[in-house]
Structure 1
Amino acid sequence: MDGKGPSQFGLHEARHEVSEPRVEDPSIEIPTRYCEHPPSARSLSAVPVSSCMVFVTRRPPLFLLLAILWTGVGPDLAVGQSPDSTIVELPEVTVEAVRGAETEASAPFAVTVRSRSPAEVSLTSSTSLDDVLRPLPGVWVNDRHHFALGERISVRGVGYRSNFGVRGVQVLYDGIPLTLPDGQAFLDVVDPAVVRQVELVRSPASVFWGNGSGGVLFLSSSGTAPPPNRIRVQGGSYGQWQGLAEGGGTVGPWTVHGYASGQRQEGYRAHSQGYRVRAGGTARRGLGPDTRLRIVAAADQQDTENPSSLTREQFNDDPSQARAAFVDVNAGKQSSQVQLGASIDHDLGGATLSGTAYGLRRALDNPLNFAFVRYTRWSGGTRFTLRRTEGRLQGGLGVDAGIQSDDRIEFTSTTPDGNPGPEVGLDQLETVLNGSAFGYARLNATDRLALTGGLRLDQMRFEADDGLTKDGDQSGTRTFSSVSPSFGLSFDAGPAQVFAQYSTAFETPTASELSNRPGGGGGFNQQVEPQFTRGFEIGARGAFPEARLRFDVALYRLEVDDLISAYEDADGRDVYDNLAANTHDGIEASLTWQATDALEVATRYTGSRFVVDESNDDSLVGNRVPGIPSRRLYLHTEFSHGGWWGRISGQGVPSYYTNNANTAEAPRYVLVNLNLGHRGIDMAGLTLKPFVTVNNVLNERYAGSVVVNAFGGRYYEPAPERSFSAGLNVEW
C-alpha cells in the first residue's frame, strides 16, 4: 500500500483533490484520484454482476478490443508510483447540492461527488459537458456537437423529453441556480474546461429545490483549492479551436477567481458553424470571524447555425449533411446571458444562517423553418436557510421565492437569410411567480443509525398577457401547487454505509411548453398538466481497503404520474401532452480500483427499464420510454508515468427507441476516447502542459443525440467520426 494505511478509504476521512505541488522533478507523481471518497464496505454481494455481463456480451468483438486496451496498459505502469506521493486529508465533504446537513458519506440517498484532478482539468479537451459527466452513473448526456441546442441531460429518465435546454433536473453553477422558476435551465454559461467539482444527486429532490428537481446537478469552477493562473489554447478536427485565460489571487480582503474563453468550430456536419465566448468569476471575503460573503458572475454570448436532425436513411447515407429546410432559412441561434449572484453565510455556533440573491438576463433570436422566435427574459430569486449542523438533531428550514418574465414574440416565417418574416403570430408577456417553504431534519438516533425527513410546499402561478388581440384576447393563467415529502435512513455498518429513501418530485410544464399550443396562437395550453414522481431506492457505498477497491450501488423505482411528453407537429414545432403513468426501474453501480498511486481502473454500469404503464393511447401501454438506453457501460483507465498522464475511456450503449410507438431505434455503439498529456515542463519560470485527444477511436457512426418523437422520422443527430485535438496550457 506504499505507506498509506487502510484509513485512506475510511468512512470518516473523506478527501478532496488539491492543486499539484510545484516540484523541480516532473517525474515525481502526485496522486490525483482520491476524489469520490465513499465509505468502506465489507461486501459487494448486493451488486448483481450477472446483469452487467448481459450487456457486455451484446457486442463481443468491440468489447474484446476494449478489454485488450485495458489489460494491456497495466504491467508497464505499475512502476510509476513514487514514495514521494502526497495525500492531503480534509474534513468530510458536505453535499452542497442539497440544503440539509448531509455529507457524501452519510447521505440517505444516491449521490456522487466527483472532484476532477488538476491533470484532468488541464490535459483533457473538455469542450462539452459530456466530457465531464460521462464517468457518472445514472446520468445520460446527449451531445449534439453544435452550440444551438446544448446538451440534453437526463437523470434516471427524468428530462428525456427536452429537445433544447434541460428539463426536470435542477442545475446550479457555483451555487447559483441555472434552473428557472418554470423548471427549465440553459447551460450556455457553463464552461466545461473550468469545471472542477461535480455533485450529482440522482434521487428526486423537490424537498430541497422544488419545481423540476428529478435530480440535482451542482457544478463548481473553483474546486477545493485555488486554480492556477494559466493560458490555454487548443485546436482540432472540423475547424475547432478554443482559447482560455484563467487566474486568481488576493486583492485586498478579497479572494478572487476569474476566467474568459472563446470557442469556434466549423463543425462536422454542414450548417453547424458557430462561436461562443464565456466569462465568469467568484469573489470571496470575510465580513468578520463568523460571516462570509461570496459574489458570483457568469456570462455567455453565442452565434451558431443549427443543422437539425435527420431521418435514418439520411443518417445512413451521409451523417454529415444538414436538414435542407433548416439550411434554406439559415436556422440557428444568437443568444446572450448574463447572471449575477451574491450569498452570505453567518456562523451561529452549531448552526449556519445563509441568504442568496441572484438574477439573470437572457436574450434569444432563434430563426427556424416554421417561425422566428425572439424573446428577452429576466429572472431572479432569493433563498434563505437556517441549518443546524451539530448535535443529535440536525437539519434546516428555508424559504424560496422566484420570478421569471419572458417577453416573447414569434414571427410566422423566417426569410432565407435568417431574419424574421413580416407577420407576427404571437406576441405575449409570460410571467412565472414561485414561492415555497421547506424543512428538513436528520435525527442521529444512534451512533450508527440516522433517520431523515423533509417537507416542502410550493405555489406557482403562470400568467400570459396576450399582446396580439386581432384574433381575440387569449390571455390566461395556470396555477400549480405541490407538497413534496421525503423520508430516509442511513446505517453505518462499520466499513459500510447502507441507505434507503422515499422521495418525491414535481415538474410543471415550462413557459415555452405552455405557449406552444397545438395549432399556434397566444395564451397557454390548458391541457398539459404537471408530472409527479415518487421515488424509492436502496443502496450502499463502501470500499475494500486492502484491495484498494471502492464501490457505490443503488437500486431504485420511480413511479411517474402524468409524464410530460413532447412530439413534433408537421411544421416542426414541439407540442406537449401527458402520457398518464410510467414506471422507471433501474440499477446504478460504480467500481473503482486504485491499483497503485499511478494507475486507476474504473467501471460504471447503469441499467434501466422505463415502461409506459397507462396511456390515453392503448397502443403505447407496455412500451419503453424513448430517448434513453436500457443499459450503459463506462470504463476507464488513468495512468501516470515519468511526468505523463493519460486516460483510455470507453462507453458502450445498445440500440434504444426514439419514439413513443417504439417503431424506430438509434443504433448501438461503442465509443473509445484517448487522452494523453504532460503534467508540467518547466521553462523560463513557466510550466508547460501539452496534451492531445483522440475521440471516437473506432470511428463509429452513431447518434450523439436524438429528437424524441420527431415528425417524419427525423430522430437522429449524428456525432463526428474519429477526431483529433491538441492543446497547450501555460501556467505560472
Structure 2
Amino acid sequence: MIRRSHLFGGAAVNALCLILSSAAVAQQSLPTINVGAARGPARPGPTTAARTTAARPYVAPRMTTPAGSLSTSANPDLAAAPGFSPQKLAMPVYRQPTGQTFTTLRSEDFRTTPIVTVRELLQYSPGVSFKQGNGPRDIVISIRGSSARNGFGVRNIVLLEDGFSVTQPDGLSRTDLTDPHAYAGVDVYRGPSSALFGNFANGGAINFRTRTGAEIDGVDYGAEFGSYGYLNNFAAIGKKIGNVDIAVFASDVRSDGWTFHSRSDTQTVNATARWQVTPNDLLTFKFIHNQLYGDLSSRLSLAQYYLNPFQRGCYVLPQAGNASFAAQGWCGNANVPINGLNGTGQVNYRTTAFLAGFDRNDRRDVLGLRWEHDFDANTKWRTQVIYDDKNIIQPTGGTAALQDEPAVNASTDVTQVGTLAGFEARHFAGLYFNRTRYTSYTNNTLFVGDGATGALQAKQNAMMQNLGARGREEVALSKDVTMVLGLASEMTKIAAWQETFSYIPTGARAAQPASWTGVPVNKTYWNFGPEASVTWRATPELLTHFRASSGYGTPNPGQLFVTQQGVNGPNVDLKTQRNTGIDIGFDWRPQETLLLSLTGFHEWYQNEQLTQAPGAGLQNYTFNAPGSVHRGVEALLDWRPIEGWRFMANYSYNNQIFTQFTELLGTANPGGRTGYFDRSGYKIPNVAPHTATARISYDQPYGDFKGLGAFVEYNYQSSYFLDNGNVLTIPSYGLVNANLHLDRDVELGWLKHVTAYFEVRNILDQNWVASANNIQNSVSLVNGAVVQNGYAQLALNGTGSIYAGNPRLFQGGVRFKF
C-alpha cells in the first residue's frame, strides 16, 4: 500500500494556475532552444576602454549562443577574442567558463517529448551516462564514469540550480529534487573542475536553469500520462512587471512502476524571484520544495535479473534452506533478524521488499538569496546564502536510515573586466563556506510491516564543513587566443562519532544491548585545484581548446563508518581522491546548419574512491584504489541538412583501468584465509566503454500542417564489468524510441500555444539493465590457496546490484500556453 504524504495533489496545481493566471495575459515568444557543445562562437566585443560606466537595470540575461546552437548567423566581426563577447562578459563566470569542456542543452528542443527524469534533458551531452537510482526520478548521473559506481544520488559532480548549489556539504546530490519540466536548459561542465566549483567537482559540474518570469510570460500548463500508472500534472506561471520578475513551477507526479513494489508519489514546488532594487542592485530569491514517497524494490543478482527482471510474484519467499537458490533465485531479498535485534545468535528471516515494505519517505527544502551589486559597468560583486534541509526516512533494505540534515552554503566573489599587462582580461576572485551537522540513525528493518524498524543498530553524529578560496584570470592574448589560469584552495573538516549496538538474543534482557562500541573521527583535509587552458580560434569556422585541470573529492562522514564487510565500523583510513587531466578538442562549424564537436581526454586518478556491495542486506562500502587512468573521446554532431529535418547524435568512449591496486579478499570461517589480487591493468567496473544517442526528426515548417512532426531515437550502451576482477559482465543494449507530435501557435481566446505528443519507448521490448551496482568478488579455499570464484557463482550470489529498465511502454502529453 502506498502512503499518502505530499504537499498537494493535481487539483492543487490546477487551482494554483487559476489563482495566478489573472496576472498572465500577454505572451512572449520563447527563443529557439538548441543542443550545444562547448564555448560560444566568436562575437564582436568592445575593448575595456569602450565599455560604458552607466548603471544598468536588470534584464533577464540572454543566453550567449553556444557553439552547438544553429540559430546564430555567421559572425559579422571577429574582433573579440574567444570568450570576450559582450553577452558572455555580462554573465557570471560559471555560466560559460572560457576554455572549459562545456555543453549547453536547451529544454525547448525536448518540449515535444515526455520528460520523466533529467535523463531526457542530458542524454545529448557527450560524456554523460546514466543509471537508475533508488526511486523513479533518482537518476545517477556520470560524467566520464565519475559517479557510475554510486548506487543512488550523484557524487563526484557538483550540481547547481540557477547558480545556487544543491550539492550538500557532504558531496551528495539528488536528481529527484525537482521536476525537469521546470528547466529552461542545462549546462554541463566536463572534466575536473575544482578550480571553479571546489570540493567534489573532480568529475565536473552541472547547472540546471529554470525559466524566468519574462520567459514564461503567462501560464504554461501540462499533463503527461502513460503506461504503468504514470501521471504528471505540472504548471509554470511567470511574469515580469517593472523591476520584479517572478516564476513559479509546481507539479504532482504518480507512478506504479514496471517493477513490482515500486509505486511513487512526488510533489514539487520551485520558485525564483528577481528584484532590481536599484539600477546597481539585484536580489534573487530561490525556493525549492520536494516531497517524495516511493515503494522500493530490492536489487537483483545477474541470475535473478535473467530469471525474473521485474520481480513478478515476489510477495513471500520460502524459508527452507535460506542460502539455497530455491529461496532467493527468483526475487530480490534481504536477510534480517526476525526480532529486529542484531547480534550473535539471532534468528534471521529472508524477506522481500513487499513483505517488509521497503520505501523512501523524503523531504527536501532549499532557500537561497543572492545579492548582486555593480560598483560600475566593469565590476560586479555577488554574495549568496543557501539553507538546504534534507529529511529522510528510508527503510530500503536490511537496515533503515533516518536523518535530518540541515546545511548552509555561503559564497562571495568579485568579477571585473579590465586589463592585465596591457591585454584585455576578466578577473575573478571569491571565498566560499559550507557546513552541515546532523544526527543519523540506522535501525534494523523488520521482516514484515510497512517499513517498520527494529532496534537501533548505529547512531552517527557528524559535522562536515568546507572553507575555500578561488581565483581566475581570463586574458585575451590576441583576437584569436584566450588564456585562462585558475586555482582553488580548500580546507575540509570532518568531526564525527558513531556508536554501534548489538543485542542479547534471548531471555528477559533481549531488548538490552549486549555490546556497545564507539568510533570517533576527527580529520582535516587540505586540497588544491589548479586549472589552465588556451582557446584558439584557428579559423572563423574552427575553435580549438587545450585544458589541463585538477579536481578533488574528500570522503564524506558516512563513508568512514562502513567496513569492507558492509557493516557499521571504522573505515577511517579513506583518503581524498584526486583527478588531474588534460582535454584537447575543437568545435567546427563549416556552415550554419552543421556543427561537429570532438574532445579527447586523459585523466590520472590518485586514491580513486570506489564503492561496491558485499551482498544483499549489507551496506555499500568505499575504499581507495591508489592509481587509475581514465581516457576517452567525446563527439557531438548537430546537422540540419534540409529545412524541417534535423539529425542529433553524440558518442562517448571511456577506457578506464587500474594502474596500481591490490585487493585483499578473504574466505569465511572456519578455516578463513586471506588472498591478495593484483588488479593493475584491469578495467574499472561499472563504466561502459561505448555509449551513443542519436535522433533523426522532421517538423513541418509551414502550411496547414505546420508544427506536425516525428522522430526516431536510438540509445546504445555497451557491455561492462561489475567487479574489480572483471569476471561478471552486464549485457549491452540498444533501445529504439519513436515519437509523433504537434507543436503550434493558436489564437483561441487566452490560449496561445498547444503542444501534444505521443511516444513509444523501447519499441522492440528489450530486457535491459537500467542500473547495476558494483559487487565484491568472492573467493574460496581450494587446496589451501585462496582462489577467486568464477562467473556462475558471482552471477548467482552477487546480489543487491541490478534494477531492470523499462519494457515497452507508451507515454503522451499535452501542454497549453496561456
What range describes the TM-score normalised by the shorter chain of this pair? Answer: 0.7 to 0.9
| 1:88 CA drift (Å) | 9.4
Deviations 1:233-274 (A, max 9, x none): 121101111110211113564210011101111110101111
| 1:445 CA drift (Å) | 1.5
One of 79, 100, 104 as aligned partner of 1:113:
104
Deviations 1:471-515 (A, max 9, x none): 244232121110111111111212221111110001112222223
One of 703, 726, 729 as aligned partner of 2:812:
726
1:512 equivalent to 2:558? Answer yes
| 1:33 CA drift (Å) | 3.5
Map 1:597-636 → 2, pairs under 5 A: 597-617=643-663, 618-636=677-695
What is the DSSP-based 3-state SS (H/G/I as helix, E as strand, rest coil) of the residue aligned with 1:447?
Answer: coil
| 1:523 CA drift (Å) | 7.2
Aligned-partner Cα distance in 1 for 2:620–2:35:
44
1:194 equivalent to 2:279? Answer no
Aligned-partner Cα distance in 1 for 2:38–2:257:
38
What is the DSSP-based 3-state SS (H/G/I as helix, E as strand, rest coil) of the residue aligned with 1:226?
Answer: helix
| 1:31 CA drift (Å) | 5.9
1:401 equivalent to 2:417? Answer no
Residue number in structure 2 paired with 1:577: 623
Contact 1:40/1:543 (<8 A) preserved: no
Residue number in structure 2 paired with 1:359: 387
Opposite residue 296 of structure 1, the aligned amino acid is K
One of 93, 96, 100 as aligned partner of 2:93:
100
Residue number in structure 2 paired with 1:136: 125
Contact 1:125/1:193 (<8 A) preserved: no
| 1:416 CA drift (Å) | 1.3
Aligned-partner Cα distance in 1 for 2:144–2:37:
20
Contact 2:690/2:718 (<8 A) preserved: yes
Deviations 1:594-636 (A, max 9, x none): 2234221122111110011110234322111111110112111
Residue number in structure 2 paired with 1:589: 635
| 1:676 CA drift (Å) | 2.3
1:558 equivalent to 2:567? Answer no
1:341 equivalent to 2:368? Answer yes
| 1:93 CA drift (Å) | 5.9
- 5+ long unaligned stretches in structure 1: 1-19, 24-28, 42-84
Over 3 Å counting, the alpha-carbon distance change for 1:527 and 1:99 in structure 2 is farther
Over 3 Å counting, the alpha-carbon distance change for 1:225 and 1:124 in structure 2 is farther
Over 3 Å counting, the alpha-carbon distance change for 1:221 and 1:159 in structure 2 is same
Aligned-partner Cα distance in 2 for 1:292–1:523:
49
Over 3 Å counting, the alpha-carbon distance change for 1:95 and 1:646 in structure 2 is farther
Aligned-partner Cα distance in 2 for 1:430–1:32:
44
| 1:128 CA drift (Å) | 1.0
Over 3 Å counting, the alpha-carbon distance change for 1:216 and 1:99 in structure 2 is farther
Over 3 Å counting, the alpha-carbon distance change for 1:30 and 1:279 in structure 2 is closer
Deviations 1:138-180 (A, max 9, x none): 0111135x62681111111211221011010011012211112
One of 460, 477, 480 as aligned partner of 2:525:
480
Contact 1:36/1:115 (<8 A) preserved: no
Residue number in structure 2 paired with 1:147: 135
Contact 1:38/1:542 (<8 A) preserved: no
Larger RCO of the pair (alpha carbons < 8 Å, separation 6+): 1
Opposite residue 134 of structure 1, the aligned amino acid is Q
| 1:466 CA drift (Å) | 4.2
One of 795, 798, 801 as aligned partner of 1:713:
798
Aligned-partner Cα distance in 1 for 2:635–2:213:
26
Contact 2:614/2:775 (<8 A) preserved: no
Bigger Cα displacement from structure 2, 589-598 vs 662-671: 589-598
One of 482, 485, 491 as aligned partner of 1:450:
482
1:178 equivalent to 2:171? Answer no
Residue number in structure 2 paired with 1:218: 207
Bigger Cα displacement from structure 2, 130-139 vs 314-323: 314-323
Aligned-partner Cα distance in 1 for 2:737–2:87:
30
Opposite residue 529 of structure 2, the aligned amino acid is S
1:698 equivalent to 2:774? Answer no
Aligned-partner Cα distance in 2 for 1:34–1:663:
38
One of 750, 756, 774 as aligned partner of 1:685:
750
Over 3 Å counting, the alpha-carbon distance change for 1:32 and 1:151 in structure 2 is closer
What is the DSSP-based 3-state SS (H/G/I as helix, E as strand, rest coil) of the residue aligned with 2:393?
Answer: strand
Opposite residue 630 of structure 1, the aligned amino acid is P
Contact 2:418/2:427 (<8 A) preserved: no
| 1:674 CA drift (Å) | 2.0
1:323 equivalent to 2:323? Answer no
- TM-score scaled by length of structure 1: 0.85
Aligned-partner Cα distance in 2 for 1:556–1:423:
49
Contact 1:148/1:305 (<8 A) preserved: no
1:245 equivalent to 2:235? Answer yes
Aligned-partner Cα distance in 1 for 2:432–2:245:
28
Over 3 Å counting, the alpha-carbon distance change for 1:99 and 1:411 in structure 2 is same
Bigger Cα displacement from structure 2, 575-584 vs 672-681: 672-681
Map 1:259-274 → 2, pairs under 5 A: 259-274=249-264
Aligned-partner Cα distance in 2 for 1:36–1:615:
35
Over 3 Å counting, the alpha-carbon distance change for 1:586 and 1:683 in structure 2 is same
Aligned-partner Cα distance in 2 for 1:563–1:666:
22
| 1:316 CA drift (Å) | 1.8
Residue number in structure 2 paired with 1:11: none
Residue number in structure 2 paired with 1:54: none
Opposite residue 33 of structure 1, the aligned amino acid is N
| 1:655 CA drift (Å) | 1.1
1:375 equivalent to 2:403? Answer yes
Deviations 1:305-333 (A, max 9, x none): 11132222222222111523333321121
Residue number in structure 2 paired with 1:58: none
Aligned-partner Cα distance in 1 for 2:354–2:556:
28
Aligned-partner Cα distance in 2 for 1:274–1:354:
39
| 1:195 CA drift (Å) | 1.8
Over 3 Å counting, the alpha-carbon distance change for 1:327 and 1:622 in structure 2 is farther
One of 613, 622, 625 as aligned partner of 1:568:
613
Aligned-partner Cα distance in 2 for 1:190–1:477:
34
Contact 2:212/2:238 (<8 A) preserved: no
Bigger Cα displacement from structure 2, 188-197 vs 216-225: 216-225
Residue number in structure 2 paired with 1:669: 733
Over 3 Å counting, the alpha-carbon distance change for 1:657 and 1:201 in structure 2 is same
Aligned-partner Cα distance in 1 for 2:95–2:186:
16
Opposite residue 733 of structure 2, the aligned amino acid is Y
Aligned-partner Cα distance in 2 for 1:415–1:95:
59
Map 1:266-345 → 2, pairs under 5 A: 266-321=256-311, 323-325=332-334, 326-345=353-372
| 1:520 CA drift (Å) | 7.3
Aligned-partner Cα distance in 1 for 2:577–2:427:
28
Map 1:466-505 → 2, pairs under 5 A: 466=498, 471-495=516-540, 496-505=542-551
Aligned-partner Cα distance in 2 for 1:328–1:230:
42
Contact 1:93/1:103 (<8 A) preserved: no
What is the DSSP-based 3-state SS (H/G/I as helix, E as strand, rest coil) of the residue aligned with 2:572?
Answer: coil
Q: % of aligned pairs identical?
A: 18
Contact 1:516/1:573 (<8 A) preserved: yes
Opposite residue 107 of structure 2, the aligned amino acid is R
Residue number in structure 2 paired with 1:53: none
Aligned-partner Cα distance in 2 for 1:497–1:474:
54
1:206 equivalent to 2:215? Answer no
What is the DSSP-based 3-state SS (H/G/I as helix, E as strand, rest coil) of the residue aligned with 2:641?
Answer: strand
Greater gyration radius: 2
One of 386, 407, 414 as aligned partner of 2:414:
386
Over 3 Å counting, the alpha-carbon distance change for 1:591 and 1:371 in structure 2 is same
Over 3 Å counting, the alpha-carbon distance change for 1:459 and 1:281 in structure 2 is same
